[in-house]
């Protein structure tokens, strides 16, 4: 498990799936804002890649996010679109409603940066998020991500087009915690 200051990133457990399905993916608005495709219901017991991990898939590494104190599941995190040739990847996260606003997102982004740069040897990480997602923008910028552009009216979300912000972080610009708290 990767440990941050408040949360840990661990493998997805079977018991995580119904919680994540109910609180993140069955929420039409949340899923519509988080994904670049229309919401659709997930059939119970399906092998949907957003929930069930395919350990053979090398370009997509999903994690479950848990509180370090007590091990409560608080969300999901992913390094996706991993390009080993260009040494780049994208990252994303989703927090359960009860876990939002507690600073976990900044910790998750830091742990994903550690995983991408140190464990995987990547050179660039990238985030795409809706321009009104202040929590994600704040978490990214606190970890050194730089706004590289705005994709105007690029995301169709619940009946309207919204802007997306593109953020990037290069390994040489990354400033990990000097205490090395992610391990």
Instruction: Give me the CATH topology for the region 2-123.
Output: Aminopeptidase (3.40.630)
Task: Summarize the confidence of residues 154-160 as an average pLDDT.
Answer: 94
Q: What is the DSSP letter of 93?
A: E
The SS3 of residue 22 is helix
pLDDT tens by residue, 14-38: 999 999 999 998 889 988 999 888 8
Look up tokens 């953020």; give the residue: 167
Q: How far is Cα 132 from Cα 98, in angstroms, rounded to an integer?
A: 20
pLDDT tens by residue, 36-67: 888 888 887 777 777 788 888 889 999 999 99
pLDDT tens by residue, 103-119: 999 999 999 999 999 99
* pLDDT at 180 exceeding the cut of 60: no
Q: Is the pTM of this model over 0.85?
A: yes
Of 30, 28, 20, residue with least CA distance to 73: 20
């Amino acid at each position: 498990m990767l440990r941050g200051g408040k949360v840990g990133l661990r493998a997805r457990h079977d018991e995580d799936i119904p919680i994540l399905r109910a609180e993140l993916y069955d929420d039409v608005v949340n899923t519509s804002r988080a994904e670049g495709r229309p919401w659709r219901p997930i059939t119970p017991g399906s092998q949907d890649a957003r929930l069930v991990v395919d350990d053979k898939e090398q370009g997509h590494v999903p994690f479950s996010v848990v509180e370090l104190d007590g091990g409560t599941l608080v969300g999901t995190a992913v390094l996706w679109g991993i390009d080993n040739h260009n040494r780049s990847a994208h990252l994303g996260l989703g927090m359960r409603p009860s876990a939002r606003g507690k600073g976990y997102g900044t910790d998750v982004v830091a742990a994903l940066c550690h995983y991408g740069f140190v464990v995987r040897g990547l050179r660039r990480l990238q985030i795409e998020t809706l321009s009104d997602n202040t929590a994600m923008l704040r978490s990214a910028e606190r970890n050194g991500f730089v706004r590289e552009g705005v994709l105007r009216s690029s995301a169709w979300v619940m009946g309207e087009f919204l802007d997306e912000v593109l953020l990037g972080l290069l390994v040489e610009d990354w400033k990990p915690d000097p205490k090395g708290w992610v391990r």
